[in-house]
Amino acid sequence: MGAMDNTPIGGDTRVAALWDGLSRVMDPELDESIVDLGFVTDVSLDAAGRVDVGFRLPTYWCSPNFAFLMVDDIARELARLPFVREVHPKLHDHMASDEVNRGAHLGLSFAETFSAFEVSGTLEDLRETFHRKAFQRRQEAVILGLRRAGWSNAAIVSADLATLDRVVLEDEEAARQKPRYRELLLARALASTPSDRAFVTLEGAPLTEVTLPAHMRALRAVRINMEANGALCRGLLDARYGEAPAPEVPAHEPDHAAHACGGGGKACCGGCARQVSAFQPTAAPDL
Amino acid sequence: MYTTPDGEEVFIIDGHTHFWDGSPENQKNIHGKQFIDCFYGYHSSLSPKDKLWTREQFAKYSADKMYHDLFVDGPDDMAIVQSTYLKDFYKNGFNTIERNHEMAQGQPGRFIVNGAYDPRDGEEALEYIHFLKETYDVKGVKLYTAEWKGESRGWKLTDPNSYRCLELCQKLGITNVHIHKGPTIIPLDKDAFDVHDVDHVATDFQGLNFIIEHCGLPRLDDFCWIAVQETNVYGGLAVALPFIHSRPRYFAEVISELLFWVGEDKLLFGSDYAIWTPRWLVEKFWNFEIPEDIKQEHGVDLTKEAKRKILGLNAARLYNIDVEAQKVRLKNSPLAVAAE
């Protein structure tokens, strides 16, 4: 096997498992998968269990701390796979490529990685900021899905975890976000038993019919911000790497209600809350 | 002046423009190249196809081209030019106040040239603010809290040195503080887009207006929350507005959020020239209507009155421009623009 070090082994199953692992890594700001966003350019596995992941961002200036979080998460997520021995994420074309790649390779913290500069603190506050926003976005999607399914505000605010688990949501985005919402609800210890409320504030306070409208307005602002950012990031990535240029969308196309981005069908930005088709990773050219 | 399809004349102040030199000759290093490339990415991803410039045109353009794009082809009556130094990236700076002032001299009465300072310069920053006031009589400044300087990768409005600078601005009557809270350049270790420092300074400097450029777009939700509470916080629409072409539904949602939280009296149009040109932006904005379902959901409307305020009247108020007097003045001093 020694002579075949760079040859992928284990066939498509292992490579598929790697892509699957990568798809669980989120852009922290957007709460969207880095695979769906087109950030991952290539993945390879050699006979010794070494994984190389090529990774790029929409601009040279994207936050190094966000980049660091993503690279860190890539290494963490892939290291869980039994056949993986070493993970080498490689960030391309970025102002902090050298530092981030070196830090990931040596397993350094953010502060250690950037010790040549004036940095302070850790990234934990940043992680928490993003977790909170992700929780809010996911919760809104589920509540909107329930509303579309005819649920009253009273039924929503009184629903418990068991009820949430039983309900089958027709709305595509709500169905996608339900398990993701549940995951954060439990991870943040906002619910733990089947009789706990399914919808509470970030601080764990129950919602009421009176407080729900204002609560939903706040969640909507979070979603609109994230969707606009997602569209901006995709547009910049396309502009930078020249793949799949954003299609021209008529100003008021008839089926606009189907897509928050203003696109419909193939013209969808791919990042809005009503995304239709998932990005299919393909082999990307060398950068 | 923008003339609407109904024949109405709308006074336009373009709240955010640049006269930069990002050409290879002026680039100091890779960062200078990547900076202008990133701007070009914004330009090419959000402009209509027939409004695209080449990279060469985009890197450096003449004063005459700028006059033409803003005032002849474009509907601007006046434009605010923001100074951005970036001397770590560009040999002569990206667009210094000297360069902007010289350009503005070519069209008297058309430009408001803003200064810039870096509070990390300490005493020198204070001296520089005096210099800006005495030499150029600036009414505003543009601050990049994310600008690199030596080994520093950014600063906060609440830093002690920053407070001293803001105190001086308030004392000298440099009342409009434009703050870049948005994409492109970012500090290294801090939450790059955090807008909470604005909250503190807006409370502590009631004599200043804080115009948050790009509405803190990566943190629109946080920005809205601050703007609700602070009467002297405004939003600049550059970067948000171009969505009106490629993602009209997003634009409708973003402007609805801004109208709901921030309000029509506190939003400023800006083309971010030369990232985008004002003509198509103003035309599309004037003709834009928020889709009925979004209007209902948000409980807001983008009326003609709101559009007039956003396109010029709000900026006129901040910069003490008597719109009627200014219209007369501009009519009596026609543009001197070289043929393109």
Mean local confidence (pLDDT), B9-27: 97
CA–CA min distance B251, chain A (Å): 8
Q: CB distance from B241 to chain A under 8 Å?
A: no
pLDDT tens readout for residues B295-329? 999 999 999 999 999 999 999 999 999 999 999 99
Closest partner residue to A239 among B45, B184, B239, by Cβ? B45
Residue B125 binned pLDDT confidence (cut-offs 50, 70, 90): very high
Q: Are residues B308 and B324 in the same domain?
A: yes
Domain coordinates of chain A in residue numbers? 2-113, 123-273
pLDDT tens readout for residues A152-187? 999 999 999 999 999 999 999 999 999 999 999 999
CA–CA min distance B26, chain A (Å): 19
Whether B328 is in a domain gets the answer: yes
Q: Which residues of A touch B239 (CB under 8 A)?
A: 232
Whether B97 is in a domain gets the answer: yes
Q: What residues contact residue A145 under an 8 Å CB cut-off, 6+ apart?
A: A169, A170, A171, A173, A174, A175, A177, A178
Q: CB distance from A59 to chain B under 8 Å?
A: yes
Residue A266 binned pLDDT confidence (cut-offs 50, 70, 90): very low
How many A×B Cβ pairs under 8 Å? 142
**Interface touch B37/A60, C-beta < 8 Å:** yes
Q: Are residues B39 and B96 in the same domain?
A: yes
Q: Which residues of A touch B152 (CB under 8 A)?
A: 117-118
Domain of residue B313 covers 1-113+268-290+301-333
Task: Give the separation between CA A181 and CA A139, rounded to whole angstroms.
Answer: 6
Of A112-116, A206-210, B31-35, minimum mean pLDDT range? A112-116
Q: Are residues B138 and B229 in the same domain?
A: yes
Selected residue with higher pLDDT from B184 and B96: B96
Whether B57 is in a domain gets the answer: yes
**Interface touch A231/B38, C-beta < 8 Å:** no
Residue A255 has pLDDT above 70, yes or no: no
Comparing alpha-carbon positions, the chain A residue that sits nearest to B290 is A252
**Number of domains observed in the structure of chain B:** 2
Select from 3.40.50.720, 3.30.300.130, 1.20.140.150, 3.30.420.40 the CATH code of A2-113: 3.30.300.130
Closest CA to A158 of A214, A215, A218, A206: A206
Q: Are residues B4 and B97 in the same domain?
A: yes
Q: CB distance from B170 to chain A under 8 Å?
A: no
The mean pLDDT value of chain A amounts to 81
pLDDT of residue B241: 95
pLDDT of residue A281: 31
> Which of B27, B37, B40, B45 has the most A C-beta neighbours within 10 Å, making it the best mutation to test the interface with A?
B45
Residue A213 has pLDDT above 50, yes or no: yes
Mean local confidence (pLDDT), B219-240: 89
How is residue B72 annotated by DSSP? I
- CATH code of residue B136: 3.20.20.140
Q: Are residues B130 and B109 in the same domain?
A: no
Residue that is last in its domain, among B236, B251, B278 = B236
Whether B323 is in a domain gets the answer: yes
pLDDT tens readout for residues A194-204? 999 999 999 99
Whether B66 is in a domain gets the answer: yes
Task: Give the separation between CA B182 and CA B332, rounded to whole angstroms.
Answer: 39
pLDDT of residue B181: 73
The share of chain A scoring above pLDDT 90, in percent, equals: 55
Backbone dihedral angles phi then psi of residue B38, each to the nearest 5 degrees: -65, -45
Whether B249 is in a domain gets the answer: no
pLDDT of residue A198: 98
pLDDT of residue A62: 84
Q: Which residues of B touch A259 (CB under 8 A)?
A: 249
Comparing alpha-carbon positions, the chain B residue that sits nearest to A217 is B298
**Interface touch B189/A246, C-beta < 8 Å:** no
pLDDT of residue A118: 60
pLDDT of residue A220: 94
Q: What residues contact residue B284 under an 8 Å CB cut-off, 6+ apart?
A: A251, B244, B245
pLDDT of residue A117: 67
Q: CB distance from A267 to chain B under 8 Å?
A: no
Task: Quickly count: other Cβ atoms within 10 Å of residue A32's Cβ.
Answer: 23
pLDDT of residue A11: 61
Closest partner residue to B221 among A121, A221, A257, by Cβ? A221
Q: Which residues of A touch B183 (CB under 8 A)?
A: 59, 61, 232
Cβ within 8 Å of B, A 94-153: 95-96, 110, 114, 116-121, 125-126, 129, 133
Is the ipTM higher than 0.95? The answer is no
User: Which tokens belong to B128?
Assistant: 């520089």
Q: CB distance from A202 to chain B under 8 Å?
A: no
pLDDT of residue B299: 94
**Residue A67 Cα to chain centre, angstroms:** 13
Task: Quickly count: other Cβ atoms within 10 Å of residue B123's Cβ.
Answer: 9
**Interface touch A228/B217, C-beta < 8 Å:** yes
**Interface touch A110/B189, C-beta < 8 Å:** yes
Selected residue with higher pLDDT from A287 and B269: B269
Whether B194 is in a domain gets the answer: yes
Residue that is last in its domain, among B195, B216, B236 = B236
Residue B206 has pLDDT above 80, yes or no: yes
Residue B331 binned pLDDT confidence (cut-offs 50, 70, 90): confident
**Alpha helices, DSSP H, located in chain B:** 30-46, 55-59, 63-67, 97-105, 123-136, 160-172, 196-204, 220-229, 243-246, 248-261, 278-287, 292-298, 304-308, 314-318, 323-332
Q: Which residues of B touch A118 (CB under 8 A)?
A: 151-153, 188-189
Comparing alpha-carbon positions, the chain A residue that sits nearest to B154 is A118
pLDDT tens readout for residues A66-85? 888 899 899 989 999 999 99
pLDDT of residue B317: 98
Closest partner residue to A236 among B45, B190, B284, by Cβ? B45
The residue ranges of DSSP E strands in A19-104, in sequence order, are 26-27, 32-33, 40-45, 50-55, 86-91
Whole-angstrom CA distances from A234 to A175, A251, B30, B219, B322 are 24, 19, 23, 17, 42
pLDDT tens readout for residues A85-134? 999 999 999 988 998 888 887 888 887 887 766 665 567 777 888 899 99
Is there a contact between B219 and B213 (Cβ–Cβ < 8 Å)? no
Q: Are residues B132 and B94 in the same domain?
A: no
Residue B183 binned pLDDT confidence (cut-offs 50, 70, 90): low
> Which of B250, B283, B300 has the most A C-beta neighbours within 10 Å, making it the best mutation to test the interface with A?
B250
Residue A259 has pLDDT above 70, yes or no: no
pLDDT of residue A120: 59
pLDDT of residue A210: 96
Closest partner residue to B250 among A62, A218, A261, by Cβ? A261
Residue located via tokens 């909250």: B199
Q: Which residues of A touch B35 (CB under 8 A)?
A: 61
pLDDT of residue A107: 82
Backbone dihedral angles phi then psi of residue A282, each to the nearest 5 degrees: -130, 165
Q: Are residues B136 and B156 in the same domain?
A: yes
Q: Are residues B140 and B211 in the same domain?
A: yes
pLDDT of residue A3: 39
Q: What residues contact residue B183 under an 8 Å CB cut-off, 6+ apart?
A: A59, A61, A232, B42, B214, B217, B218, B239
CA–CA min distance B51, chain A (Å): 13
Q: Are residues B101 and B130 in the same domain?
A: no
Task: Give the separation between CA B308 and CA B177, rounded to whole angstroms.
Answer: 22
Is there a contact between B280 and B245 (Cβ–Cβ < 8 Å)? yes
Selected residue with higher pLDDT from A186 and A59: A186
Task: Quickly count: other Cβ atoms within 10 Å of residue B297's Cβ.
Answer: 15
**Interface touch A117/B188, C-beta < 8 Å:** yes
Residue A269 has pLDDT above 50, yes or no: no
Whether B248 is in a domain gets the answer: no
CA–CA min distance A22, chain B (Å): 24
**Alpha helices, DSSP H, located in B21-176:** 30-46, 55-59, 63-67, 97-105, 123-136, 160-172
Task: Give the separation between CA B28 and CA B91, rounded to whole angstroms.
Answer: 5
